[in-house]
Amino acid sequence: MSSIESFEALPLAAPLHRALRDKNYVTPSPIQAQAIPHLLEGRDLLGSAQTGTGKTAAFALPILHHLNEKNHRLMKGRMRALVLTPTRELAVQVAKSFDDYGKHLRLNTALIYGGVSAGPQIRAMKRGVDVLIATPGRLLDLYEQGHFEFDAVEHFVLDEADRMLDMGFINDIRRIVSKLPRERQSLFFSATFSNTVTRLAEEILSNPVEVRIAPERPTADAIDHRMCFVQRDDKFTLLETLLNEQKEREGDNLTLIFSRTKHGADRIAKALGQGGIRADAIHGNKSQNARQRALDNFRRGRPNVLVATDVAARGIDVKNITLVINFDLPDEPEAYVHRIGRTARGGAEGVALSFCTGDDFNELRAVERLLKQEIAVHHEHAFHQESLVARRNSGGKSGQGKRFQRGGGGQRGGSRGGPPRGKRNFNARRGPRQSVR
């Protein structure tokens, strides 16, 4: 199957080929080349591929093809294809892909997710839809209110299954699956496969074909990522310094900053604004309209700095992110890989820098165990703490890597003074732990 070298070689409906030509898509990615032929044959599929590899097209194109070929009339309160995603942002992105690929077809899509009025969603389902993209919580809420049924689903997709389970959706997923027709095509995608994820796949799929795409290099190997060892009280000033350097670079450069907590993300964005650097924050406490507006503005570079919790670590494909900064190291080491994977997408250049204080060594060791390598050190800034590097290296050799060079060179000439009053001791990690959705 992997020998397919062009979309034209795939037996897709003519309107789909037209949409692919509109987007100048010529060569399928490995996940597309290997998955689409099986899915066109109606097989269930267990898929694994890195984010940003074209996974959405791998399932959207064959589903649209099947729906178009069967051309069934819509039934009120029914859907023909159901795609479950863990977050609202990913649901919106997947829906846009279905709309783009299906723009020459007479098929309609709808979205169901929380954080917005349910009225338009209820009205859309009352008419019936060809493709429904939804998050589990709101979907079950509206189902239990009697607004639709699942008995007409022909195609079911569970996207980012491992993230779904991390967010506590496993019982919701099982309830939804129990309502689906036994005769259906099911697709299951997950970046990682724990025992729980594997058991869930076995419950959902019937004699599936497996397509697992190993990248030429792991995400972390393909990205220039470094660790900044810094005192807690210097973190914010280092952040400002890096962002001011980023301003001096040529081109449309976006910066994505990760905070562990929602409150921390708000504090970082507010403090940056007070220092003259415009930034938006995005996290689960924001309304869906606010989150989508922040993402749309970020894509346009207005502003070109976005502060996020792990709600943006997966599934958000934004071009021109040339710098990712982990203001806080994540609690879950897998999130590190997904966070830094927001840069250097599609072969573009990008850098990821993470701040590590003396309080962060447990998180650092967890990430390095996952990567099976020591992360290189970024020395070229005024707040570098060699004592922390020595502590990290006490059990092994120092991390090596190419030096992080930016316009204007290093930062050793910069002031070591902390942030102004009100910013010193600024630390987004303080406060109670919060769940991130």
Each residue's pLDDT tens digit, 215-248 = 544 566 668 899 999 999 999 999 999 999 998 8
Predicted local confidence at residue 193, as pLDDT: 83
* Residue 49 belongs to domain spanning: 7-212
| Pair 291, 174 in one domain | no
pTM for the predicted model, two decimal places: 0.68
| Pair 115, 157 in one domain | yes
Instruction: Say yes or no to pLDDT of 136 above 80.
Output: yes
Q: What is the 3-state secondary structure (H, E, C) of 373-425?
A: CCCCECCCCCCCCHHHHHHHHHHCCCCCCCCCCCCCCCCCCCCCCCCCCCCCC
Q: Is 170 helix (H, G, I), strand (E, B) or coil?
A: helix
Average pLDDT over residues 39-48: 95
- C-alpha span between 344 and 259 (Å, rounded): 20
Number of domains in the chain: 2
Q: For position 12, which CATH number holds?
A: 3.40.50.300
Each residue's pLDDT tens digit, 163-174 = 898 888 999 999
Each residue's pLDDT tens digit, 181-225 = 999 999 999 887 888 999 999 999 999 999 988 654 456 666 889
Residue 48 banded pLDDT, cuts 50, 70, 90 = confident
Predicted local confidence at residue 76, as pLDDT: 94
Residue 420 banded pLDDT, cuts 50, 70, 90 = very low
| Pair 224, 129 in one domain | no
More confident residue, 294 or 432: 294
Q: Where are the alpha helices (DSSP H) in 210-250?
A: 219-222, 235-248
Distance (Å) of CA 77 to CA 31, 133, 199, 295: 33, 15, 31, 31
Asked if the structure places residue 422 within a domain, the reply is no
8 Å CB contact between 341 and 258: no
| Pair 277, 196 in one domain | no
Each residue's pLDDT tens digit, 301-330 = 999 999 999 876 665 678 889 999 999 999
More confident residue, 418 or 231: 231
Asked if the structure places residue 368 within a domain, the reply is yes
Asked if the structure places residue 174 within a domain, the reply is yes
- C-alpha span between 142 and 150 (Å, rounded): 12
| Pair 185, 231 in one domain | no
Each residue's pLDDT tens digit, 325-369 = 999 999 988 888 888 888 876 666 789 999 999 999 999 999 999
- Kindly state the percentage of the chain with pLDDT values over 90: 63
8 Å CB contact between 221 and 302: no
Q: Is 311 helix (H, G, I), strand (E, B) or coil?
A: helix
